[in-house]
A and B are shown apart, each in its own frame.
Chain A
Amino acid sequence: MNYENTIASKRKSSLPDTHFVNGSVYTNKAIFQKEKEKIFFHTWHFICHESEVLRKYDFRTISFLGQPLIIIRGGDNKIRSFLNVCSHRGAKIIHAPSGNSKKLTCFYHLWSYNDRGDCISIPRENGYDNSNLKKNLCGLTELKTDVFMGMVFISFNEKIMPLNDFIGDSLSSFKNTLCSGKLEVFHYSKSTIKSNWKAWQETNLDLYHEWMHVLLRRTQINAGSMKDRKVQIMPNGHAVVGGLKAKYGSYKGINDRKTTKALPGLSSEDFFFVDLFPNFAILARGTAIRIDVVTPIDENTSLVEWRGLGIKDEDPKDRRLRWKHHNQYWGPFGRNVPEDAFAAEACGEGFINSASRYQIIAREENGTGQDDGMLRAWYKEWSKLTNVNINKP
């Protein structure tokens, strides 16, 4: 820190330790390194939805914290994921974001791999006879992969707890919808934002910031549904928020959704969401679901990916309406998401050179309304995994 800020210090000393987060938690390189090791390369992470690899041999390639990955549905229908790097000279093998192929062939010297990651062909293989290179040791590195309610999760940690235990009951409010077998991803967008990854995730944890969104002021706060909100803090750092109904017609330009086709298990005015630790949020609004994940690129830059879930093979007219419902809120030209991204970047500007020393997470409203309990529970889990104290890092 280049200079003292006594005003900030005084304010801080009046707060309980659990109720503020030191700014260096967002900017310190050593802390970021710990996050990578103890969180991102340790626990489970959502990577894609099963509909993105619907048919046998469908694949998706995704970069996760700089690790090129390929997720592929095998001939046995099982979804597996591998490091998308060639065992030979390390080239990234598959470059297309999606596709379908029984054989994954590296462009460089044409080594090929099958849907289980086995190396199945090496051109002029006998050139390796003298050095004793074994083809059966040349397969791709497989990551732990599991599917929960249609969502594909990966972990770099071979000893991680089973995915079922990690998620527990946190997603039970989504069960009838996500397990209907009728959903597919119909919207995908991503953005690079100039802020620490936690600043994005906080937009999913901070209930108080609804004031920032005129759309939420009109359709939720002024519509009087705030009192019905229920927040549940779940094991492993997850949280469930339910009980709200949205009055869409209260915002000029957004139509009432009463009569429109809700997703299975939902009614059209439902609004609830679940945050899974560390970087995942799933939000249901009667007619569409949004999934977002944030992954760091470095401590000051993050990649946010948004997916919209709707009904598979629906009538083009219904699809068009669903796109509209999804994107009026959550698209890159939506009324809400650009504001969250603005907020995340603005907090980034505050913290990056320590102009802002810490942030306050001190609201208490008995776990409802606009309580900061979700933020505190999230940071508790974060501290447990990183072994870093959020106020004296």
Chain B
Amino acid sequence: MLEYEEIVNFIQKSCWMLDEEDFDGFLSLCSKDFQYKITAFSPELNKEMIWMDEDYEGLKNLLGMVPEHLTRLGKFTRHVTIGQTLRGNEEIIIKSSFIAVHTDLNGKSNIFGVGRYNDKIISRDKGVFLLSREAHLETRDLGIGSHVPI
């Protein structure tokens, strides 16, 4: 059984790897049946929306293409606060709040988006893996947007 401290370290690691754009590192934390989603609710349409929806392979391919894209310059920093952990038989559901701050090349930081992560992780012989992550955004005006998962 995973200790709470291990859970915190794992979630923090997953965010720091995305912060550093260490996509291989991030993918190494994901199980092969990983599902990633970015969602948001539109009060204009009164509908839930899915803004990004990829499985492990899809995400791997898209992340592999990021260096070829014209991406937002600077760096994201994901500030995560774990709110709840719910332990099932094998899986643990972790609900966290996040604030993603973007710092531009001049060192100026701005809030990019706020929301919640809904993560599912599993501890296997070979280590801890992310089974799924849903990043639900409250922020819907994302300026020029982004090519990378939040």
Query: Do the two chains belong together in a single complex?
Result: yes
Query: Interface residues, chain A, CB within 8 Å of chain B?
Result: 52, 60, 96-98, 185-193, 212-214, 251-253, 320, 323-324, 327, 331-335, 337-339, 341-343, 345
Q: How many Å lie between the Cα of A253 and that of B53 in the bound state?
A: 12
- In the complex, the answer to whether B52 meets A331 with C-beta atoms within 8 Å is yes
Asked if B145 contacts A341 (CB within 8 A), the reply is yes
User: Within the assembled complex, what's the spacing in Å between the Cα atoms of A338 and B148?
Assistant: 11
Contacts of A327 in B (CB 8 A): 50-53
Contacts of B146 in A (CB 8 A): 332-333, 338
17 pairs from A and B in contact (CB 8 Å cutoff): A60-B44, A97-B43, A98-B44, A98-B45, A189-B42, A193-B143, A193-B144, A320-B53, A324-B50, A333-B146, A335-B65, A338-B144, A339-B70, A341-B143, A341-B144, A341-B145, A343-B70
- Chain B interface (Cβ within 8 Å of chain A)? 38, 40, 42-47, 49-53, 58, 61-62, 64-65, 68-72, 140-150
Complexed CA–CA distance, A190 and B49 (Å): 13
Set B42, B62, B70: member contacting A188, Cβ < 8 A: B42
Question: For A52, what are the chain B residues with a Cβ–Cβ distance below 8 Å?
Answer: 44-45
Rounded to whole angstroms, the CA-CA distance of A67 and B70 in the bound complex is: 35
**Residues of the A chain whose Cβ atoms lie less than 8 Å from the Cβ of B150:** 333
- Say yes or no: A342 contacts B43, CB within 8 Å: no
Q: Are A338 and B72 in contact (CB under 8 A)?
A: yes
Q: Closest CB-CB distance, A286 to chain B, in whole Å?
A: 18
A342 / chain B contacts, CB cutoff of 8 Å: 70, 72, 144
Asked if A192 and B61 sit within 8 Å, CB to CB, the answer is no
Give 5 new A-B contacts, CB below 8 A, not counting A97-B44, A186-B45.
Answer: A189-B140, A191-B145, A327-B52, A332-B51, A333-B146
Give the complex CA separation of A253 and B64 in angstroms.
Answer: 9
**Closest A residue, CB atoms, query B150:** A333
Q: Is the CB of A252 within 8 A of B64?
A: yes
